[in-house]
Amino acid sequence: MTQLTVAPAQTSAQTSTPERSAVPAQAPAARAATPGGRTARTRRYLMCPPTHFDVVYSINPWMDPGKPVDGALARLQWEGLLRAFQALGHRVELIEPLPGYPDMVFAANGATVIGGKVLSARFRHAERAAEGPAYLEWFRARGYETREAVHVNEGEGDYLAAGRYLLAGTGFRTDVRSHREAERFFGLPVAGLRLVDPRFYHLDTALAVLDDELIMYYPGAFSRESQGVLRVLYPDAVIATEADAEAFGLNAVSDGRHVLMPPAATHLMDELRERGFEPIGVELSELLKSGGSAKCCTLELRGGPR
């Protein structure tokens, strides 16, 4: 794999650690903002109803079993996200939740799907271990090409398809060795990114893909080396503030024009409007008690059986 090393004042292609990204030393040119010129593309998503959602253990800084969860409100909020996708013309499929697995509602963690190929999730924490096989069985039953992961990875929580690259998080959940596994299976160059702030334990809490060439992210969530990689690959990225990130504004879903995200990330929503996107606030306050929002609830089905 070609590696990218980023120095403070310049960049050069050479062999480096996995964190510093397996990507060519080449990046898309900066683009001028084109307000109103964004194009939405119809997507297919997999979601899991929050039938058993609750906070009964703590595996990230946002989870506090001592705080009550309103299950009925969580369901209403989740249904609001579902209706928002449907109103935009996107197709949503559902997986049956397993009793005893309250975080299965976070479908993004269940697998990674690119080009109709499915890499299963292998969860780091025992509390979520059964979710990976459950999602994998859903895909196998529908005829997808699947691979059962060897190394720990938490699906689209840490793998984000971004045009010519697969952005891959590590540091808290996903094993860096899984990056090579994903690269070989999907045939995409992997850009490894190290997370360093435990509040942003998955890549999708610190970075969102807006279209094939544009992302938004919070620099403080990443190591200095990974910040350098992101500056090279995405010189015109939308930069989130710490307040945006704490509001889970980066746990967003974009169809290329519409961006579904928590309404509390007001600064980030203004930035997106200036870039020609249409942010849509979706309130998921109950699910935030477990450290997840719109993207966590949404696994994109890129290709494969219908």
Residues with active-site annotation = 202, 296
Burial status of residue 44 (CB atoms within 10 A of its CB: 0-12, 13-18, 19 or more): middle
**DSSP assigned state of 6:** E
Place of tokens 């704490």: 246
**DSSP assigned state of 66:** T
Strand partners, 147: 119
Q: Could you count the other beta carbons within 10 Å of the beta carbon of residue 83?
A: 12
Coil, helix or strand at residue 166: strand
d(CA 178, CA 152): 7
d(CA 199, CA 245): 9
**DSSP assigned state of 79:** H
The contacts found for 274-281 with CB under 8 angstroms, 24 or more apart, are 274/33, 274/35, 275/33, 275/35, 275/38, 275/210, 275/214, 275/238, 276/33, 276/34, 276/35, 276/36, 276/37, 276/38, 277/38, 277/210, 278/38, 280/84
d(CA 82, CA 236): 31
